[in-house]
Amino acid sequence: MTAEALLTDFYELTMAAGYFACGKASDTATFDLYFRQNPFRGGYAIAAGLEDAVRAVLDLRFHSRDLDYLAGLRSARGRPLFPEAFLRYLAEFRFRGSIRAIPEGTVVFANEPLLEVSGGLIECQIVETVLLCHINFQTLIATKAARIWEAAGRGTIVEFGLRRAQGPDGAVSASRAAYIGGAAGTSNVLGAARFGIPPRGTQAHSWVQSFASELEAFRAYARCFPDDCVLLVDTYDVLASGLPNAMVVARELQQQGGRLAGIRIDSGDLAFLSRRAREILDGAGLAHVRILASNELDEYAIEQIMAQGGRIDSWGVGTKLVTGEGIGGSALGGVYKMVEHNGRPKIKRSNNPAKTTNPGSKRVVRFYSEDGMMAADAVGASSEDLAGGEVLIVDPANPLRRKTLTETRRVELLHDIVVDGRLVCDFPSMEEIRDRRAAELDRLDPSYKRLLNPHEYKVGLTLKLWRLKEELLERKA
Amino acid sequence: MTAEALLTDFYELTMAAGYFACGKASDTATFDLYFRQNPFRGGYAIAAGLEDAVRAVLDLRFHSRDLDYLAGLRSARGRPLFPEAFLRYLAEFRFRGSIRAIPEGTVVFANEPLLEVSGGLIECQIVETVLLCHINFQTLIATKAARIWEAAGRGTIVEFGLRRAQGPDGAVSASRAAYIGGAAGTSNVLGAARFGIPPRGTQAHSWVQSFASELEAFRAYARCFPDDCVLLVDTYDVLASGLPNAMVVARELQQQGGRLAGIRIDSGDLAFLSRRAREILDGAGLAHVRILASNELDEYAIEQIMAQGGRIDSWGVGTKLVTGEGIGGSALGGVYKMVEHNGRPKIKRSNNPAKTTNPGSKRVVRFYSEDGMMAADAVGASSEDLAGGEVLIVDPANPLRRKTLTETRRVELLHDIVVDGRLVCDFPSMEEIRDRRAAELDRLDPSYKRLLNPHEYKVGLTLKLWRLKEELLERKA
């Protein structure tokens, strides 16, 4: 994905032009990027998309073709929409602000900033949409993958979604995020090549149909791919035809010193068929043959199949993984809100307390119990020292709900990523991000991972931040 | 979107390698691309994505970096996965087959081929995933846009989805498809520039927050954009603050010989607020000021607001449009099935009659009543002459359900797009596609457009095709 300066909402440019014309080009601001509800009505999310988002911001340049397009836009009265002075400003535009963010692969929760952008008002505004686009989508998909991975008892998940993904890059971004969240491979070769994900896939029903018999089709595939031979056994009938034919090939491979890697079942009752196939394979001395399953799977289907004793070694999950389908729709509703302007904290009030913003630049500190499990997160002012001592947190949606945190193990979640336009960190490798995700989920109690009605993890404002919020609300009221 | 040969499912390549190794490189085949259920449990779909899909197929080349990647893949035993001879074949690969398709913007229905690909078995197989990816997604979004456009009484729809779209290109493809389906503009500047869509957008709440007062913020915007000034009136309170301040600016613009273009309401009860705002504006001689609304809209919300007398001139629709959210998930389940192999019709049977494929190369003919409305579609063998006479169609899911079509107005839906690897048509412009969509929806009875329980449009197999299907099923049984 190359940086495209025009990959932005039009209003970012009209606002930028307005700020420029009003003499606000040297105003400063801070914005928070966060979501208000965990995706899928779940108990957590997995942060993802940061590297793509930050690279897009740092590479953002208005090239001459972009400026020509903008220069050609006309107002309703036929006058140039954007003044020439503003277009000259855009021609020189570089992001010179700063970004702090929670690393990819971290467990995160609603209402804590995943990202804080500070710098000139115009530059902070211009990067809004591209940041949201990358982080909303990849966080959604990484979370979906983590839910599926957990539902499968941390088994092998292969992402099969390209054909029904939301456009070519919807697919490629999804492959990356699914790998972060828990997938072990992808069918998408471009995603595999770009991110170092193991590519996976064998044959479709059309392969079997193009031979005179299923057995001939299986033999042909085994001849071509003897070391990685997975046979699709449901073109005609899994138990009456596909499995017996696959077992013939398994024995032929054994005679040549090889092994059948697996069978794939893509229709029917996956719990029943996999149990029965496992018994038959084991009874025939073919315990090494793995069983792969696919067909409209998601975390709910997998949980049911697991509960009914399904014997599936590898799950192919497509559409519902890469589109992040689930309760609440296939999108994460991340927002980007101004929290400071020219050094002064700002608030946007709403009748809905969950939509009233939290003012000012912040820090997010995670508290861990003695056993290493996550206990609660405190969102405080960036000027606060939360490294030691008791910390009282307030639930901003219900300020009577308070909790005193005394845990001594604490970790700051927001890290410096960009300072004054310069990248100040090395982005972690995909494997490091995956390791982080697995370690993070180890430290999250299972009650927060339930698919239905998960326990609500505590994220509160420090008393100092809560009082600042109250003060600003009173001043406005 | 440049063509990326690796934007494919891995199994397309393993199957291709297998066919190549088995001496099937000169086999021929025909595949149908179709969906089995209309999206959103609706009564129709709008075909879209063809141009992008076909260009991707025609531009498909395996470049040296792609071949290097494939050459580096290893089997479970560490041997090269793909033989060198196959990689040399890929290096020379061009799509030299043929594609027939239903033009973009056409009303289409479940179980009729949107696209037929014929040619060498390998080339038809290799292009499967990229065709599905483009056509599934864009057809989903064009259909969603059409539903929203109809629900809004064919009013003005502006697509606002970039920030929560499924990745950058998920957004750009969605902007294109939404424009085909009925959107009149987009917030996505890159989509606007690429497809000639009017870009739309004015300011966010952060604009208002960055000024000392709402009135000052409005005045500043009006100074910069006097000809296209739409003011966001819900930062504080629509009726108590936003609207009165906007009216001050409207009068100031009038004194300078200008006009306030509109106000935008982005929260609250849009039916109530728009009615009240309309009354107040009209009472103040500001009947020309348009009312724009946004906030989690879709066809259902719009239908309700219209039914309750909402006075909205322009609807900003974001997340739910560009992610195609709705009943059945955010994906169209298009499939790509082999219907002919080496000149012989093929069938894939299933216990589910809706999943048993229809064999052979086909034609699709649409019958129109005397009044010009669509009456029914017949899917027949490509060898059949359906230009005149009575045509009996059979519902393959319920073969007792038959209907004799006598209408004389008939149109062939599948057109030659690519013949032997050469593009044989000019792709229509976006405006031509939009005109087609509007004209097509004019000819579709409203009963098929209902959001809830729409009437089911008849799509049947000709008797000849039905008998071929029966014969193949009996032969297999």
Report the residue of chain B nearest A134, measured CA to CA.
Answer: B167
Report the residue of chain A nearest B201, measured CA to CA.
Answer: A11
Q: Is the dihedral angle over the CA atoms A387, A389, A390, A396 positive or is it negative?
A: negative
Length reported for chain B: 477
Q: Is there a contact between A10 and B189 if contact means CB atoms under 8 Å apart?
A: yes
Q: Is there a contact between B168 and A337 if contact means CB atoms under 8 Å apart?
A: no
| Nearest Cα to Cα of residue B374 among B326, B305, B443 | B443
| Nearest Cα to Cα of residue A336 among A15, A27, A92, A2 | A15
In a domain, B113, yes or no: no
Question: What's the mean pLDDT in B52-64?
Answer: 97
Q: Which residues of B touch A224 (CB under 8 A)?
A: 14, 17-18, 21-22
Residue A102 is given by DSSP the state P
SS3 B427: coil
In a domain, A122, yes or no: no
Phi then psi dihedrals of residue A159, to 5 deg: -85, 120
Q: Does residue B328 carry a pLDDT above 80?
A: no
Chain segment A307-336, per-residue pLDDT in tens:
999 999 999 999 999 999 988 789 999 999
Q: Provide the percentage of residues in chain A whose pLDDT is more than 90.
A: 93
Q: Does residue B1 carry a pLDDT above 60?
A: no
Per-position DSSP letters for B155-199, written without gaps between them: -EEEE--GGGSSHHHHHHHHHHHHHHHT--EESBHHHHHHHTPPB
For residue B225, what is the domain's CATH number? 3.20.20.70
| Nearest Cα to Cα of residue A292 among A319, A320, A307, A273 | A273
Among candidates A137, A189, A346 on the partner chain, residue whose Cβ is nearest the Cβ of B165 = A137
Report the residue of chain B nearest A56, measured CA to CA.
Answer: B168
Q: Is there a contact between A160 and B17 if contact means CB atoms under 8 Å apart?
A: no
pTM of the model: 0.96
Chain A contact probe: residue of B163, B176, B298 with most A CBs at under 10 A: B163
Chain segment A421-437, per-residue pLDDT in tens:
999 999 999 999 999 99
Report the residue of chain A nearest B132, measured CA to CA.
Answer: A163
Q: Is there a contact between B193 and A69 if contact means CB atoms under 8 Å apart?
A: yes
**Exposed/middle/buried for A36, CB within 10 Å: 0-12, 13-18, 19+?**
middle
Q: What is the pLDDT of residue A3?
A: 63
User: Residue B356 in contact with residue B348, Cβ under 8 Å?
Assistant: yes
How far, in Å, CA of B180 to CA of B438, rounded? 9
Q: What is the pLDDT of residue A397?
A: 86
Q: Does residue B183 carry a pLDDT above 80?
A: yes
User: Residue A291 in contact with residue A282, Cβ under 8 Å?
Assistant: no
Q: Which residues of B touch A203 (CB under 8 A)?
A: 11, 14-15, 18
Q: Is there a contact between B192 and A9 if contact means CB atoms under 8 Å apart?
A: no
Among candidates A66, A193, A235 on the partner chain, residue whose Cβ is nearest the Cβ of B69 = A193
Question: What's the mean pLDDT in A217-246?
Answer: 96
Report the residue of chain A nearest B56, measured CA to CA.
Answer: A168
Hey, is the C-beta of B184 within 8 angstroms of any chain A C-beta? Answer: no
Q: Name the domain count of chain A.
A: 1
Q: Does residue B351 carry a pLDDT above 90?
A: no
Q: What is the pLDDT of residue A366?
A: 98
Among candidates B75, B134, B323 on the partner chain, residue whose Cβ is nearest the Cβ of A331 = B323
In a domain, B169, yes or no: yes
Q: What is the pLDDT of residue A477?
A: 53
Hey, is the C-beta of B21 within 8 angstroms of any chain A C-beta? Answer: yes
Largest CA distance in chain B: 83
Q: Does residue B397 carry a pLDDT above 50?
A: yes
Taking CB atoms and an 8 Å cut-off, how many pairs form between chains A and B? 331
Q: Is there a contact between A188 and B79 if contact means CB atoms under 8 Å apart?
A: no
Q: What is the pLDDT of residue A1?
A: 42
Chain segment A271-311, per-residue pLDDT in tens:
999 999 999 999 999 999 999 999 999 999 999 999 999 99
How far B99 CA sits from the closest chain A CA (Å)? 18
Q: Which residue has the tokens 């005193």?
A: A404
- How sure is the predictor about B354, in pLDDT bands with cuts at 50, 70 and 90? confident
Q: Which of residues 410-469 of B touch A (CB under 8 A)?
A: none
Q: Which residues pair with A368 in a beta bridge?
A: A374, A409
Report the residue of chain A nearest B327, measured CA to CA.
Answer: A329
User: Residue A334 in contact with residue A28, Cβ under 8 Å?
Assistant: no
Question: What's the mean pLDDT in B150-169?
Answer: 93
What is the torsion angle, in degrees rounded to the nearest 10, for the CA atoms of residue B82, residue B86, residue B91 and residue B92? -160
What residues contact B24, with CB distance under 8 A and at least 6 apart?
A210, B121, B122
Say how many Å lie between the first and final Cα of chain B, rounded.
Answer: 46
Report the residue of chain B nearest A23, measured CA to CA.
Answer: B220
Q: Is there a contact between A192 and B10 if contact means CB atoms under 8 Å apart?
A: yes
Q: At what angle do helices B299-307 and B270-283 cross, to 10 degrees?
A: 50
Q: Which residues pair with B291 in a beta bridge?
A: B263
Q: Is there a contact between A11 and B338 if contact means CB atoms under 8 Å apart?
A: no
Phi then psi dihedrals of residue A208, to 5 deg: -65, -40
Q: Does residue B2 carry a pLDDT above 90?
A: no
Q: Is beta strand A314-317 parallel, antiparallel or unpaired with respect to A156-159?
A: parallel
User: Residue A118 in contact with residue A278, Cβ under 8 Å?
Assistant: no
What residues contact A25, with CB distance under 8 A and at least 6 apart?
A19, A89, A120, A122
Q: Is there a contact between A172 and B167 if contact means CB atoms under 8 Å apart?
A: yes
Chain A contact probe: residue of B128, B189, B356 with most A CBs at under 10 A: B189
Q: Is beta strand B415-419 parallel, antiparallel or unpaired with respect to B422-423?
A: antiparallel
How far A314 CA sits from the closest chain B CA (Å)? 16
Q: How many CB atoms lie within 10 A of CB B254?
A: 14
In a domain, A291, yes or no: yes
Q: Which residues of A touch B9 (CB under 8 A)?
A: 160, 162-163, 187-189, 201
Structure tokens at B434: 């939009």
How far, in Å, CA of A323 to CA of A302, rounded? 17
SS3 B394: strand
Q: Is beta strand A374-381 parallel, antiparallel or unpaired with respect to A459-462?
A: parallel
In a domain, B25, yes or no: no
Question: What's the mean pLDDT in A138-148?
Answer: 98
In a domain, A280, yes or no: yes
Hey, is the C-beta of A72 within 8 angstroms of any chain B C-beta? Answer: no
Q: Does residue B25 carry a pLDDT above 80?
A: yes
Among candidates B9, B76, B331 on the partner chain, residue whose Cβ is nearest the Cβ of A323 = B331
ipTM summary value: 0.94
Report the residue of chain B nearest A69, measured CA to CA.
Answer: B193
Q: Is there a contact between A137 and B66 if contact means CB atoms under 8 Å apart?
A: no
What residues contact B35, with CB distance under 8 A and at least 6 apart?
B45, B110, B111, B114, B136, B139, B332, B333, B334, B335
User: Residue B275 in contact with residue B311, Cβ under 8 Å?
Assistant: yes
Question: What's the mean pLDDT in B419-440?
Answer: 98
Per-position DSSP letters for A107-144, written without gaps between them: EE-TTS-SEEEEEEHHHHHHTHHHHHHHHHHHHHHHHH
Q: At what angle do helices A167-181 and B167-181 cross, to 10 degrees?
A: 140
How far A337 CA sits from the closest chain B CA (Å)? 7
Question: What's the mean pLDDT in B382-388?
Answer: 95
**Exposed/middle/buried for A358, CB within 10 Å: 0-12, 13-18, 19+?**
buried
User: Amino acid letter at A93?
Assistant: F
How far, in Å, CA of B455 to CA of B458, rounded? 9
User: Residue B153 in contact with residue B172, Cβ under 8 Å?
Assistant: no
User: Residue A138 in contact with residue A177, Cβ under 8 Å?
Assistant: yes
Length reported for chain A: 477
CA angle A123, A125, A126 (to 5 degrees): 65
Q: Is there a contact between A325 and B330 if contact means CB atoms under 8 Å apart?
A: yes
User: Residue A249 in contact with residue A260, Cβ under 8 Å?
Assistant: yes
How far, in Å, CA of A53 to CA of A46, rounded? 16
In a domain, B40, yes or no: no
SS3 B116: strand
Q: Is beta strand B230-232 parallel, antiparallel or unpaired with respect to B262-265?
A: parallel
What residues contact B439, with CB distance under 8 A and at least 6 apart?
none
How far A324 CA sits from the closest chain B CA (Å)? 8
Q: Provide the percentage of residues in chain B whose pLDDT is more than 90.
A: 93
User: Residue B298 in contact with residue B323, Cβ under 8 Å?
Assistant: no
Question: What's the mean pLDDT in B393-420?
Answer: 96
Hey, is the C-beta of B202 within 8 angstroms of any chain A C-beta? Answer: yes
Q: Which residues of A touch B121 (CB under 8 A)?
A: 210
User: Amino acid letter at B90?
Assistant: L
The secondary structure of A359-424, three-state, reads CCCEEEEEEECCCCCEEEEEEEECCCCCCCCCEEEECCCCCCCEEEECCCEEEECCEEEEECCEEC
Q: Which of residues 271-330 of A touch B (CB under 8 A)?
A: 319-320, 323-325, 329-330
How far, in Å, CA of A423 to CA of A313, rounded? 41
Q: Is there a contact between A224 and B22 if contact means CB atoms under 8 Å apart?
A: yes
Q: What is the pLDDT of residue B419?
A: 98
How far, in Å, CA of B191 to CA of B85, rounded? 41
Among candidates A10, A188, A346 on the partner chain, residue whose Cβ is nearest the Cβ of B200 = A10
Q: From the centroid of its chain, how far is CA B27?
A: 33
In a domain, A415, yes or no: no
Q: Which residues of A touch B12 (CB under 8 A)?
A: 201
The Cβ-side half-sphere exposure at A174, using a 13 Å CA radius, reads 36
What domain range includes position B206?
143-322
Hey, is the C-beta of A8 within 8 angstroms of any chain B C-beta? Answer: yes
